[in-house]
Structure 1
Amino acid sequence: MRVVIAEDAAVLRELLGQMLAERGHEICASVSDAVTLRAAVAEHRPDVTVTDIRMPPTHTDEGLRAAIDIRRDHPGTGVLLFSQYVETKYATRLLAAGSAGVGYLLKDRVANVAEFTDALERVAAGGTALDPEVVTQLAGAGRRAEELAPLTDREREVLSLMAEGRSNAAIAQSLVVSAGTVEKHVAAVFNKLGLPASHDHNRRVLAVLRYLRG
């Protein structure tokens, strides 16, 4: 992958770059603020960018706003946000335009190199990678939508894992069930949420967004 990193903490920025470079990925740029991030993405057109949410000068949502701009201006570039804390309002804003090529992880996940790089690769490939804690807090941020009421507990569990960006095979491994069983649960979720097969829409993305906004 070709990666642009944006993080104002120099030590973490260097750690991320070294960690990814050691695994064969190309670090196109490593920057410390959102303005330089936008310029670096425009210049290098990376596969994915990793950015903190809170960056100079105000340390509020500069990274988030840059990520939203990048998604709009460079749809071929995946965006992985990471933060010290779960900030549901920021995650919701990031997902508002769809969940393809988007990730949101807590910084603690960087310690698990395999988990972090797997998430980054999913985002670069156009998939989704949401921290389990992010999913939990997003799903519990408001009342459940009535449309989610028909789902069984197991179907909600499957949908929660889908929201993390897990494939059917990964869900099957997590739940210790067969791939066929997971496929049946996923099909039931689509049917109960009224998401018929379509060439124009990705039912998996639509189901996840409905779950997170529920």
Structure 2
Amino acid sequence: MSERVIGVLASGRGSNLQSIIDHIEGGYIKNARIGVVISDRASAYALERARRHGIEAVYINPHAYPTKEEYEQKVLEVLEEHGVELVLLAGYMRIVGDTLLDAYEGRMLNIHPALLPAFRGLHAQRQALEYGVKVAGCTVHFVDREVDHGPIIIQRCVEVREDDTEETLSARILEQEHKIYPEAVRLYLEGKLKIEGRRVRVLE
């Protein structure tokens, strides 16, 4: 069976990227490989993580292109050059536009550190603490035309403690992110996810 090719877009340290790499190398995600990691930041540690595992690491400077569409067209070209079937956003700090969505609709996943639809956008953990919630968590979802909005695949809850700071809550949520993102990728590649409107049904 030929390997399925994953592409990852990242802007930062890439801890969720590392989790996906580890789960592929450990055999939890089977018959798949990461073909390329693309970052919009030259200093992103995600690129170094990719290189350490023999994965093509590509920096594309968004400021080198006059428009978002032209920048995304370059990203798309790199993804297609590597035969990418599934795109994962792993701390990618740009809003995905129509160029990429048109090409990868239903084939692009994101992970967000909140129980969507609550606390969309930046600083979700801070938002949760300021709101006074008792439970926080993380969500893997399909990417659609709105930020942190697409059909939900998996969610995991984390208790909010009385002495939590943004940092401590973020760390506990991240532990769960590293578990549910590989699970969602595995389910996708095994053909077990079916989108029905707003719902994602997991097939047996």
Q: Same fold (TM over 0.5)?
A: no
Q: Give the TM-score band, short-chain normalised.
A: 0.3 to 0.5
Structure (1/2) with the larger strand percentage: 2
| TM-score, normalising length: structure 1 | 0.41
Whose relative contact order is higher, 1 or 2, with alpha carbons under 8 Å and at least 6 apart?
2
Structure whose alpha-carbon radius of gyration is higher: 1
Structure (1/2) with the larger helix percentage: 1
